[in-house]
Structure 1
Amino acid sequence: MVSSDQLKDNLKTANGLINQAVSNGAQLVVLPENFGLMPKHAGQLFSISETLGEGDIQSFLSKVANENDCWIVAGSMPIKSTRDDKVYATCLVYNPVGEQVAHYHKIHLFDADISDDKGRYRESDTFLAGDQPVVVKTPFGVMGLSICYDLRFPELYRELIQQGAEFIVAPSAFTETTGQAHWALLCRTRAVENACYLIAANQGGVHNNGRATYGHSMIVDPWGKVLSELSVKEGIATGTLKKSTLINIRTSLPAIQHRRL
């Protein structure tokens, strides 16, 4: 997706992409970070923030999951916290019945100075950090949840594996600058070092707030092979998660079992 600051337009786009993915055989659909809104200012995030389990955006996600008989991982949206001045960046998971079965509050917040047109990023000015890694049992295996900047923290991914994750999702909005340098490297590394599948849905293009994101959404297998990848554009990337591949790699090269620290 190339989300704008218009919620209605973004939800319409997300609905169309979900329909397209399901028509192509997808049973699990992952949306990118900030799928509903790429804000021009923090106030817009607060204006669309919802209480967990309530609100129009969450009702939309439930309805679309039910209508398409698919699992939806809704990249991230602002969920109200106990503080009036900050929200959580939250990934929501819906089953094919439309039930919200899990949520994950982004743990690692992107506070960095990048050599792009925006330059200064301070997510902690708007967001409250989560503190709980989350895994979800699905028909496709145990799924671990992460969001964007989390990709740079291998200890989170290892904790998800310790909790049984067989594949991990990473909805993201990587900048063009950091993405060119590190996106594919991080995605493949996290998959290889944890012998798991990685589904990384990234925003991709120039947004109407002036921010440029890298795109290149991809699905990576436990050997580090990129099974499917988009360019810098709106679209879908599809792939098959094979339990036999996961078991074979974890059995033949059991690096996780060989850890000594």
Structure 2
Amino acid sequence: MALIQQEETEEKVVNPSESAKTAKSSASSNVDDHKEASDGFETASDTELGSDAEDTHKEREQQHQHQELSNPPGTDSSEEASHDEELKQKALAQANDAKLEGNKLFGDGQFEEALSKYELALQIAPDMPSSIEVRSICHSNRGVCFMKLGKYEDTIKECTKALELNPAYLKSLVRRGEAHEKLEHFEEAIADMKKILEIDPSNDQARRTIRRLEPLAAEKREKMKEEMIGKLKEMGNSLLGRFGMSVDNFQAVKDPNTGSYSISFQR
């Protein structure tokens, strides 16, 4: 598909909330780059546990002892949360490093090796909102690696995963549409181009691609219809042959007044 004319090495992923203009500019390169990840991730607030007004002094003392056992001296829940966040940020940085190594290998034409680095980044990246970007980039970059290797089904799978993380990822839509066209999935390729136009109505390349693919899709539909009719005839002949007949003995006749059809039998 003529939609991608030049492969580059880095991009900033379009976030679903960004404007169509930003999404369009981010679709100009091939292998994507990393931007600073957000630190914002949701944490559950602690629930305060109050004792009932009718609790005895002994019950309250038992509760206090239980809390001391649950939180021994020197243990601070806020410190644990901070440590956990540091580990996640460290893992995110390592995932980004692996992604950058994959980009370099891709640039050197080592697509199989680049695939391994992107997969490593996906395994390392923590499951948190600020890692969505690097994960979507790695899936999309794996898609373009598979494209270079001629593995178009795998390209579709990886780009779909990238779009599940970031539905407004224009480059993944372009790559998936191109892979669909390579496999002669013209209807699916047109659907991806239409999604691009929903995000970026000014995308003339997507509009031209739709015009180019629509006659191919219509031709394929007609071919599939003829093949289906041929199979039905073959099945009918196998059944009617037992009675010395074939589907050719039956003819559909259109009523010129009503436009309906009737079946007539001919010997």
- In proportion to residue count, which structure has more strand? 1
Is TM more than 0.5 here?
no
Q: Tell which structure's C-alpha radius of gyration is larger.
A: 2
TM-score by length of 2: 0.24
Q: Which has the higher helix share?
A: 2
